[in-house]
Amino acid sequence: MRLLLDEHIGPAVAKALARAGVDAVALREWRSGRFLEAPDEEILSEAAEEARVLVTFDQRTVPPLLKAWAEAGRSHGGVIFVDYRTLPPNDVGGMARALLRLNERLGEAEWRDRVVYLARA
């Protein structure tokens, strides 16, 4: 599982995951931060090209985009939704542990077009 962490998830989480052997990069550092202000559609498209799963708190604009893509037969690299009430963005350790647990369970699974909600570890 190759992860792309959205702008609300800091590079410290990506670094913690990398130390554990997970290929993870924060949006701030991915492709020199070029996609920080990019629309969701561009981020998802580029992430899919690298077979990266987007980890995001954005449950307002991403779900309608995924629905539109599914209806159009367009694929994405996978999305992991995080809820603020489950894991706040500043809980670096909790976020890393939850993503590591998910990686243990589903890391080898096919992620194309998969959508998962992250649970606390």
pLDDT tens-place string over residues 45-65: 999 999 999 999 999 999 999
pLDDT tens-place string over residues 7-27: 999 899 999 999 999 999 999
- What CATH number does the domain located at 2-117 have? 3.40.50
Side chain identity at residue 6, one-letter code: D
pLDDT tens-place string over residues 83-112: 999 999 889 999 999 999 999 999 889 999
Mean local confidence (pLDDT), 115-120: 94
Torsion of CA 77, 80, 81, 83, to 10 degrees: -160
What's the pLDDT band for 39 if we cut at 50, 70, 90? very high
How many CA atoms, within 13 angstroms, populate the side-chain half-sphere of residue 119?
A: 5
Q: In terms of Cα–Cα distance, which of 105, 53, 99 is closest to 76?
A: 53
Residue 121 has pLDDT above 80, yes or no: no
pTM: 0.95
Mean local confidence (pLDDT), 21-38: 94
